Amino acid sequence: MPPAGTLELLTAPHAPVLGWSSYFGDDAASSPCIWDAPQLRPTSSGRAAIALALEAFGICPGDRVLVPTYHCATMVAPIAALGAEPVFFPIHPTGAPVLAVLDRLLDDRTRAIIAPHYFGLPTPMAELRQFCDARRLCLIEDCAHTFFGLSDLRPIGSWGDYAIASLPKFFPVAEGGCLASWRHELFPRQLHPRRLVEEARALANALESGARYGRLPGANALIKAAFALNARVRRGSATLQPDAGQASDLDVATLLSEFRADAIAFSRPTTVSWLLARHHGRQRLVGQRRRNYQALAELLEGCPNARLLRPELPEAAVPYVLPLQVDNPERYYQRIRATGVSLYRWDRVRWPGVPDFPEDVGAVWSQQIFQLSVHQDLDAADIGRIARTIRTILSSSDP
Ligand SMILES: Cc1ncc(COP(=O)(O)O)c(C=O)c1O
């Protein structure tokens, strides 16, 4: 271990990595999840699934769709791309909407609400479901962060008229999502098929990152040698880096362009990505994410200039990230990222023009919540290094 106060450069993967152990000998049984939905359609991303859910419900230009003040812009872009109006609502510290304000925001053009489960820690949904039923609102349950688990004793995704999910946040793939429903038949539009070269690239990327992190015993050396040779021949590798599924640097215009009729949003995911996600074992994924969350929470307890937003991991939750609330976030954010820690914040991917509400935590969360990855391909040593790095930076008195 380096002396206290020394910064380590971290080389752990930022996102799940392909490994034999996730496909062979792993148990598929534990933890309810989106795959259990009676109606399920593959999509190219979580945002594409939101677009298809809005379309399936018949949202038209001029309709209004409610979205939380604490959001990733990818949740809002599908609404604007349809010509509908995003209307922002405040949230409680549980992540649930402030229903009294929601009620005031409604008019006869308001037809749907997007309600996320943040960080992989389920948001209560029973009361919101009743609210939507009483007002004939379509509930789109955003499970991009929360693929597994229970909310108010029911499987995640089953409260919504539609549920959407994002595959790279939980599985070793660079793209893909799905639209699911426990309540309605899904007849979304026909999606464009993917080209063979895209399938080949998806497979190559998954194999390359699996071999790079030594997760494919028996084949690691061979795959690494093949990619090194290919890179030398092509003078530089053209492979994608896994990105933990976070749209960290997307601007509004780029996001909107993804929803043109011929654009990627209306394609299927590659079959390779879909199959890698669909057949991934659950037991190791669930266990390792829970262990990583609990270990990181313990190691960051009492950290200067920061507080754990949810020190206790709810039973049956399968976390995506650990949310850490940091004072003076501007001072620390880039410094932590520069060390290689997989860390995200939603300030730069917020939609412009979000109003302030006195009873809202969303505005503060957008600035102060650091989302720290706890994916299944980080081990105890990685978590230890991440915690030491964050503590060192948050304890420093450098300006
Ligand atoms: C809560 C939430 N919903 C939806 C999305 C969109 O998912 P995707 O990146 O797969 O389009 C994201 C992306 O980060 C997200 O964080």
Ligand 1 atom 3, closest CA:
144
Among candidates 148, 158, 163, which has minimal Cα distance to 182?
158
- Give residue for tokens 């030491």: 388
Residue ranges of domains in the chain, CATH in brackets: 31-181 (3.40.640.10), 281-395 (3.90.1150.10)
Q: Which of 52, 71, 75, 76 to mutate to test the pocket of ligand 1 (most atoms within 8 A of CB)?
A: 75
Ligand 1 atom 10, closest CA:
46
For residue 245, report the distance from its CA to the centre of ligand 1, in Å. Answer: 7
User: Residues of the chain with pLDDT > 70: what percent?
Assistant: 92
Q: Measure the CA–CA gap between 313 and 328, rounded to whole angstroms.
A: 26
- The CB-side HSE value for 187 (13 A sphere, CA atoms) comes to 3
Cβ atoms of residues 164 and 140 within 8 Å: yes
**Residue 113: phi, psi to the nearest 5?**
-135, 140
For residue 233, report the distance from its CA to the centre of ligand 1, in Å. Answer: 36
For residue 306, report the distance from its CA to the centre of ligand 1, in Å. Answer: 25
Distances (CA, A) of 283 to 20, 361, 381: 14, 34, 21
- SS3 of 199, please? helix
Residue 247: pLDDT over 60: no
164: left (phi over 0), alpha (psi -120 to 50) or beta: beta
Residue 297: pLDDT over 80: yes
Ligand 1, atom nearest to 45 Cα: 10
Cβ atoms of residues 182 and 207 within 8 Å: no
Lowest mean pLDDT among 182-186, 253-257, 373-377: 253-257
Among candidates 298, 384, 295, which has minimal Cα distance to 341?
384
Among candidates 20, 23, 86, which has minimal Cα distance to 352?
86
Residue 248: pLDDT over 70: no
Helix extents (H) in the chain: 46-57, 73-81, 99-105, 126-135, 196-212, 220-234, 252-257, 271-278, 283-300, 329-338, 362-368, 380-395
Average pLDDT rounded to a whole number, residues 220-236: 79
Ligand 1, atom nearest to 247 Cα: 14
Task: Report the chain's mean pLDDT, rounded to a whole number.
Answer: 91
Ligand 1 atom 8, closest CA:
46
Lowest mean pLDDT among 94-108, 236-250, 329-343: 236-250
DSSP 62: T
Which residues neighbour 340 within 8 Å (Cβ) at sequence distance 6 or greater? 9, 10, 11, 12
Each residue's pLDDT tens digit, 82-128: 999 999 999 999 999 999 999 999 999 999 999 999 999 999 999 99
Distances (CA, A) of 354 to 144, 185, 190, 330: 21, 34, 34, 20
For residue 399, report the distance from its CA to the centre of ligand 1, in Å. Answer: 33
Q: Measure the CA–CA gap between 139 and 157, rounded to whole angstroms.
A: 10
pLDDT at 238: 44
Q: Measure the CA–CA gap between 112 and 287, rounded to whole angstroms.
A: 35
pLDDT band at 397 (very low <50, low <70, confident <90, very high): confident
**Sequence letter at residue 150:** L
Pairing of strands 64-68, 138-142: unpaired
Ligand 1 atom 7, closest CA:
46
Each residue's pLDDT tens digit, 63-75: 999 999 999 999 9
Q: Measure the CA–CA gap between 395 and 36, rounded to whole angstroms.
A: 44
- Dihedral of alpha carbons 99, 104, 110, 111, sign: positive
Nearest-Å Rg of the Cα atoms of the chain is 21
pLDDT at 105: 97
For residue 371, report the distance from its CA to the centre of ligand 1, in Å. Answer: 13
- SS3 of 245, please? coil
For residue 42, report the distance from its CA to the centre of ligand 1, in Å. Answer: 15
Q: Does 322 or 350 have the greater pLDDT score?
A: 322
For residue 358, report the distance from its CA to the centre of ligand 1, in Å. Answer: 26
Measured from CB, residues less than 6 Å from any atom of ligand 1 are 45-47, 72, 74-75, 116, 142, 144-145, 166, 177, 245-247
Ligand 1 atom 14, closest CA:
246
Ligand 1, atom nearest to 176 Cα: 10
